[in-house]
Amino acid sequence: MANLIQKLCGKLNQFFMNGGKEEGISKNEFMPVGADGRDLLAPVAEALAPIANITVESQVLYHTPKSSFSYWDAKLSSYVFRTKDLPFFMWGGVIVWNPPRCFRSSKSMQPQKHTLTSEDLEELLEVSLGQLRQLFGLKSNNLYVGESGMSSVLSSERGFTEWELDALSRQHTCFNLHSCATTLGSLSRLVQSLPRMIIKDEIGKQVKFSLEAANLAQTNASSGIYEASAVSSRQARALAEDAFFHPSIMSISYYSFEHCFAVYTPFFLPVALHVLLASAKEWRRYKQEHMKYFTWISKTKAE
């Protein structure tokens, strides 16, 4: 009984607290969800809406010229590219999918138009959804290995289970609130360092609304309403950043002495040059007159 309770507590802590996140995620694991493009991507974007703003874009290009050329490999019986001809992918991935029916038939020499079916899209979107899960730090399959052994967790049609969404909401809420507090603290220190700065009412309202959204996010998180807390924390962070990067503040914070010198030197340098020359001339004349005066005083006393 104690062993069963220990296993149950371990699973609850792994899934409901950490969202099933593990280190060392394999890049070749994919979570099968099964649906075509619209039925799959729309629920995923809707499920992640409180955490991130995900947009789906598509583009079809015809007759695009190739930037690299392949060569025939007899051992592989296919055309291959050299490694240096392929670009280095910083993030994301590329999927090349050629269903067997898309190959040109030996009997027909005319090109035919083929459309990918929902089954073809299903295999492609499984890979894309698996990569999306890995970007959020989650495993892309439903198998978890722990001290108590291997366990299988039911997957969701939306690609993310409820406990995974709760864990992501909590993590993003903490990150957004920390970023909001850091930004507002930097804004406060900046205003205190520039006492002559004129703060517009718009900036004050943004700071006020940011604090209200942050308090609402904390209240919702304490009540277990994680989706609402994630939305409020995003609003608090966005308002704090808008207040800090307001154009009126940026123009003053980056208004350095070097900038003033570079701007006003062309205007004052010609005038200052004439003033200095006139001052030097007057100083020489004053010294000459002063010497003449002392010479006259000396002669008067001698007589």
Instruction: Assess contact for 35 and 125: CB atoms under 8 A.
Output: yes
Domain co-membership, 268 together with 249:
no
Check residue 31 and give its pLDDT.
Answer: 36
SS3 152: strand
Check residue 55 and give its pLDDT.
Answer: 73
**Which tens digit of pLDDT belongs to each residue from 67-101?**
677 788 888 888 787 777 766 555 566 667 777 76
Is pLDDT larger for residue 261 or for residue 16? 261
Which residues have a Cβ under 8 Å from the Cβ of 124 and sit 6 or more positions away? Answer: 95, 97, 116
Domain co-membership, 230 together with 198:
yes
Domain co-membership, 191 together with 269:
no
Query: Which residue in 138, 99, 128, 102 sits closest to 35, CA to CA?
Result: 128
| Side-chain-side CA neighbours of residue 283 (13 Å) | 6
Structural domain range at position 284 = 256-290
- Model confidence band, residue 30 (pLDDT cutoffs 50, 70, 90): very low
Per the structure, the count of domains in the chain is 2
Check residue 26 and give its pLDDT.
Answer: 35
Domain co-membership, 174 together with 250:
yes
b/e string for 198-228 if b means 16 or more Cβ within 10 A? Answer: eeeeebeebbebbbebbebbbebbeeebbbb
Domain co-membership, 217 together with 282:
no
Domain co-membership, 192 together with 243:
yes
Instruction: Determine if residue 137 is left, alpha or beta; phi over 0 gives left, psi from -120 to 50 gives alpha, anything else beta.
Output: left
Domain co-membership, 280 together with 206:
no
Check residue 28 and give its pLDDT.
Answer: 35
Residue 235: pLDDT above 80? yes
Note the residue count of the chain. 303
Tokens of 18: 């950490």
**Which tens digit of pLDDT belongs to each residue from 136-177?**
887 766 666 666 666 666 666 677 888 888 888 999 999 999
3-state helix, strand, coil in the chain (%, to 5): 60, 5, 35
Kindly state the DSSP code that residue 17 receives in the 8-state scheme: I
Please indicate, yes or no, if residue 264 is contained in any of the structural domains: yes
**Which tens digit of pLDDT belongs to each residue from 166-198?**
888 999 999 999 999 999 999 999 888 877 777
Please indicate, yes or no, if residue 153 is contained in any of the structural domains: no
Check residue 215 and give its pLDDT.
Answer: 95
Distance (Å, whole) CA 154 – CA 68: 43
Q: What is the CA radius of gyration of the chain?
A: 36
Domain co-membership, 180 together with 262:
no
For 214-217, which contacts have Cβ atoms below 8 Å and span 24 or more sequence positions? 214/177, 214/180, 214/181, 217/173, 217/176, 217/177
Domain co-membership, 247 together with 196:
yes
